[in-house]
C-alpha cells in the first residue's frame, strides 16, 4: 500500500468569504424549521478551524446538524461539542494514510425521528458510523487480508 499512499492534510485553516457566510446565514434563516442540517464540505475544516468557520459554528448553535467532508481520504467520525464531524474515506481514490479508516465506501443516511442513522457501505461489507474494527481491517481493505496462497496439494483437496 505504501506505493499508493500520498500525504494529505490541512496545512492551514480554510477561510470562508463574507459572501459564503452571508449565504449560509440566509439559507439557515430560510430553512429555520428543518429538523436536521447537513453541511457538506470538501475539506474537514474543523481539523484547523479558521475564525470564519467558528462564525459558521456559532450560526449553527442550537440547530441539529452534521458536518461531512472528504479531502483526507481516511474515514473518521468525531463528536465535537455534541456534533458529528465525519471525514469520508477514499471511495476508490488514492490512499492518504494506512489504517482502518482507509476503506473504499459510500455512506447511506436514513433520517429518523431522532436524527440521522448512518451506515457506511464498504466495497467489501458494511460498518457503522464509529468506523471499522481494526482487528477486521484486512476484511475491508481494498487489497484484502494478507493470506498465503494454498499449495497445489491444498487446492486439490478443496
Q: Confidence class of residue 3 from pLDDT cuts 50, 70 and 90?
A: very low
Q: Which residue range(s) make up the domain with 82?
A: 36-144
pLDDT at 151: 52
* 110 contact partners, CB below 8 Å, separation of at least 6: 116, 117, 118, 119
82 domain-assigned: yes
Query: Is the residue at 65 inside a domain?
Result: yes
Within-domain flag for 1? no
Q: Residue 75 burial (CB < 10 Å; 0-12/13-18/19+)?
A: buried
17 in a structural domain: no
* Residue 104 within any structural domain of the chain: yes
- Confirm whether 153 is domain-assigned: no
Q: Is residue 56 part of a domain?
A: yes
Domain count, the chain: 1
What's the grid cell of residue 131? Answer: 468506523
Q: What tens digit of pLDDT does each residue of 69-111 get? A: 988 888 899 999 999 999 998 776 666 677 778 778 889 999 9
Amino acid at each position: 500500500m505504501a506505493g499508493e499512499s500520498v500525504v494529505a492534510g490541512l496545512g492551514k485553516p480554510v477561510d470562508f468569504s463574507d459572501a459564503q457566510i452571508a449565504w449560509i446565514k440566509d439559507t439557515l434563516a430560510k430553512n429555520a424549521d428543518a429538523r436536521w442540517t447537513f453541511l457538506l464540505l470538501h475539506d474537514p475544516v474543523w481539523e484547523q478551524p479558521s475564525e470564519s468557520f467558528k462564525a459558521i459554528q456559532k450560526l449553527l448553535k442550537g440547530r441539529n446538524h452534521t458536518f461531512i467532508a472528504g479531502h483526507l481520504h481516511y474515514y473518521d467520525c468525531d463528536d465535537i461539542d455534541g456534533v458529528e464531524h465525519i471525514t469520508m474515506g477514499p471511495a476508490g481514490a488514492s490512499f492518504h494514510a494506512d489504517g482502518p479508516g482507509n476503506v473504499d465506501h459510500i455512506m447511506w443516511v436514513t433520517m429518523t425521528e431522532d436524527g440521522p442513522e448512518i451506515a457506511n457501505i464498504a466495497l467489501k461489507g458494511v460498518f457503522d458510523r464509529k468506523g471499522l474494527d481494526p482487528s477486521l481491517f484486512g476484511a475491508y481493505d481494498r487489497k484484502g487480508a494478507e493470506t498465503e496462497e494454498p499449495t497445489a496439494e491444498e487446492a486439490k483437496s478443496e
